Structure 1
Amino acid sequence: MAGSFDAEIKMVYPVDDGTFFTVDRIPSGAPFDVIANVEIGDEINGNVDEHDVWVSVRNLSKSTVVAARHLNETLAPQKDTRRRLEVRVDFDTPWTADNGDVLEVVASYRVRAGINTIFSAARSLPFVIAPED
C-alpha cells in the first residue's frame, strides 16, 4: 500500500486485447493491452495534477524492445482519499517477435502533485511468442 505521501505502480501485466485475462503466450504482432495497477496516497492525491505511465515490451531472447507506449492523463485532486486505478495501455500497432521468444513488460510511473514528483517502476512475468492453436 502506498503511504499517504507516496504514489506507486503496484503491478503491471499483459492481457488479451480488451480483457483482463493475462497473456501467457501470444502470436507475433497480435494486439494486446497492458494493465498497470497504480495507487496514490491520500495526501498526494489531494494535490495531484497528472500521472504518466511509460510501458515497454522487451524481448528477453534478443535483448531488444519490440514496442513502447506513453500515457499521460490529467487527474483532479481528491481530498482525504486514496486513489487506486487500473490504467490500460493499448498495443494494437504492428510489432514483431519470433516464435519461442520470451517477452516481458517493464513500466515506470510518475505522479506530479504541485512541487512533488514521485517515480515508481514494475515489471511483469515473462510471456512467450507462439502461434495460435
Structure 2
Amino acid sequence: MCEEMKATVQKCVRSPRHSKEALNRLNQAIQQLKTEVSSAQSQPREPEKAKDVEALRDVASSGAKGKLAWLEAALQRAKQEMARQLREYQELMIVKLGLDFEIATYRRLLEGEEQRLCLGLGAGSAGK
C-alpha cells in the first residue's frame, strides 16, 4: 500500500513538470505565431502584385490564426490537466499525512506496550 502511494506521488510530481514544459512550448509557439501574423499584416505592399500578395497574406494569416486558436485551446486543456493533477497530488498528500499520523500513533502505542511488558517482566523476576 505504501509503495503504491509512493509510486502515485512520484507520478503526480513528474506529471506537472511535463505539463509545465508542454505549456512553455505552447506559449512559445503562440508567441511565434502572433509575431508571424503581425509581421504579415505590417509588410509593405507592391502595387503591381498587391492582389496576389494580399491573397497569400490572407491565406497565411488565416492559417496562422487557426493554428493559434488550436494552440490556445491546447494550452487551456494543459492548464486544466495540470490543475487536476495538482488537486490529486494535494489529496494524496492529505492521505499520506493521515497515514503518517496513524503510523506514529500506533508506534507510540507499541512502544508503550513494550515498556509495560518489560517493566512487568522485570518486576516479576525481581520478586522471585
Instruction: Calculate the TM-score normalised by the size of structure 1.
Output: 0.19
Higher Rg of the two aligned structures: 2
Which structure has the highest helix share of the two? 2
Which structure has the highest strand share of the two? 1
Higher relative contact order (CA 8 A, sep 6+): 2
